[in-house]
Amino acid sequence: MDTEPQNSTDGAPEPSTPVSSTIDVTARREHSRTSGTARGLLVVLAIGLVAVFAMQVFTLVSASRTDEQIAALDEQISSVDGQISSVVGDVAAVQESVDAVDQKVDDLATGSLIAPTASGASAAAAPGTPDGYLPQFEQGQPDAALGVVLGDVSGVEYYADTEITIDPADGTARAWLVWAHWCPYCQQELPPLSDWYAENADAYPNVELVSITSSIDPTRGNPLEPYLDELQLPFSTIVDPDLALAEQFGLSAYPFWVFTGGDGKTMLRTAGLLGVEQVESIFDQLEALSA
């Protein structure tokens, strides 16, 4: 998969392909063991550097040294001090990364993924972003799109072969999945998602799943038309041949998820594959908020 963005015919950038951003709650034990090992190695390195420093000081005290030797040793000690400081900084950085991952795992475990938005008010879109459009998503950064109302979404629905327009503020909460036919993570995600939705859609009368297939390129393998004919997705699938909808959603990578409330406000965006359990948890929250 491509790693550099490409420009579409209308100047909109084609998002780069992501690695999967899914973090499964069952991975906590393995994650903690791995991160603990990393911290342990850094601490051992720091202790080793301190030992080197102590040996050099002992050598200086126990033997007569010339001024030149003492100056050289002082320089070595300063270098060791710098290395120790660097190791301490690395330990802190590792701990910060571990804490961030642990928080995301906790969020998934408790189901607190949907960001609340103030009722009766909408967040302002980022400067330069057209009305109804969401700013480009940046993984790991506070999402400027939260609370912003998504505008009408229009395009040709593949299976019906007709132009449709969806108003995100029509009272129905929605999960929007933007994907590409050549993306292996999208190919991994769609079949189980399709099976789950076909079996469970009736349990969510106030929530709808809409997919948007974008970045269409017949030269990249797994051609779209036979692929969609084979999948027979049980939810609406809008074709986005010119990346216009990808730009409207602020997409940065495939697959890309956007969740909106019945008032059209953006409640959550994430780039990367989501497991069916996570999708179900979010649907439960959207249904509870919309009922």
Closest listed residue to residue 246, CA positions, set 140, 136, 132:
136
Contact of 84 with 50, CB cutoff 8 Å: yes
Q: Which pTM was predicted?
A: 0.62
CA 32/CA 54 separation, integer angstroms = 33
Give the integer Cα–Cα distance in Å for 265 and 116: 10
State yes or no: pLDDT of 246 exceeds 80. Answer: yes
The per-residue pLDDT for range 31-50, each reduced to its tens digit, is 444 445 445 544 444 455 54
Predicted local distance difference test score (pLDDT) of residue 92? 53
Helix residue ranges per DSSP H, the chain: 28-62, 67-110, 184-200, 224-231, 244-249, 276-290
DSSP 121: -
Exposed (0-12), middle (13-18) or buried (19+): which is 163, by Cβ within 10 Å?
Answer: exposed
DSSP H helices in 63-155: 67-110
The tokens of 138 are what?
A: 């940046």
pLDDT at 30 over 60: no
Winning range, highest mean pLDDT, from 50-54, 136-140, 278-282: 278-282
Q: For residues 245-255, give the mean pLDDT.
A: 97
Partnered with residue 266 across adjacent β-strands are: 260
130 vs 128: which has the higher pLDDT: 130
CA 149 to CA 165: how far, in whole Å? 16
Report d(CA 183, CA 118) in Å as an integer.
36
